[in-house]
Amino acid sequence: IVPQNRRARLADPIMSFDSDALETYRKSKFYSSREGAA
Protein backbone atom coordinates (compact mmCIF):
# COMPACT_ATOMS: atom_id res chain seq x y z
CA ILE A 1 0.00 0.00 0.00
CA VAL A 2 2.79 2.38 0.94
CA PRO A 3 6.04 1.98 -1.01
CA GLN A 4 9.34 2.28 0.84
CA ASN A 5 10.10 5.73 -0.58
CA ARG A 6 6.89 7.25 0.82
CA ARG A 7 7.39 6.48 4.51
CA ALA A 8 9.25 9.58 5.72
CA ARG A 9 6.32 10.73 7.86
CA LEU A 10 5.81 7.26 9.29
CA ALA A 11 9.47 7.09 10.35
CA ASP A 12 9.13 10.08 12.68
CA PRO A 13 9.42 8.87 16.31
CA ILE A 14 6.24 10.71 17.27
CA MET A 15 4.34 8.32 14.96
CA SER A 16 5.66 5.19 16.67
CA PHE A 17 3.43 3.07 18.90
CA ASP A 18 6.28 1.69 21.00
CA SER A 19 9.21 4.09 20.82
CA ASP A 20 9.60 4.20 24.62
CA ALA A 21 9.12 0.86 26.36
CA LEU A 22 9.94 2.38 29.76
CA GLU A 23 7.08 4.85 29.45
CA THR A 24 4.77 2.05 28.30
CA TYR A 25 5.69 0.02 31.41
CA ARG A 26 5.16 3.00 33.72
CA LYS A 27 1.66 3.56 32.38
CA SER A 28 0.74 -0.11 32.19
CA LYS A 29 1.77 -0.84 35.77
CA PHE A 30 0.17 2.33 37.12
CA TYR A 31 -3.21 1.58 35.57
CA SER A 32 -3.23 -2.18 36.20
CA SER A 33 -2.59 -1.44 39.90
CA ARG A 34 -5.59 0.90 40.14
CA GLU A 35 -8.16 -0.56 37.78
CA GLY A 36 -9.69 -3.99 37.30
CA ALA A 37 -8.83 -4.10 33.62
CA ALA A 38 -5.39 -4.75 32.14
Partner 1 sequence: MKKSDCAPRLLATLFQFLLLICSASADEPLSADAILDRPPSFRVESVRVRYSHFEQMGIGYQSQAGPARGPGSESLTVEQPQLEIVAKQGKRTTHRLWIPLDVVTAASPDAVDRLHGVDTISHASRINEGGSVDLTTQYRADRETSLFLRGNYHMEEQFRSWALGAGMARSLAEDNAVVVASVYQVYDWFDSFLTNGLRVGHASRSTSNGNLGLTQLLSPTTVAHVNYGVTLQVGELGNTWNSVPLLEGGRSQEHLPTLRHRHAFVARLAQWLPWQGALKAFYRFYLDDWGILAHTWESELYQRMGPRAYLRLNYRFHQQTGADFFTTLSQTSAGLQTADSDLAPLSAHTFGIMTAIDFPLKHIAGHLDIGLERYLRSNGLHASIVSCSLGLRF
Q: Is 26 in the site for partner 1 (CB under 8 A)?
A: yes
Shortest separation between residue 15's beta carbon and partner 1, angstroms: 5
- Cα Dmax for the chain: 44
Q: Is 28 among the residues that bind partner 1 (CB under 8 A)?
A: no
Q: Contact at 8 Å (CB) between 8 and 14?
A: no
To partner 1, the closest distance from the beta carbon of 10 in angstroms equals: 6
DSSP 8-state code for residue 10: T
Does position 9 interact with partner 1 (CB under 8 A)? The reply is yes
> Residue 22, interface with partner 1 (CB under 8 A)?
yes
The Cα–Cα gap between 31 and 38 comes to 8
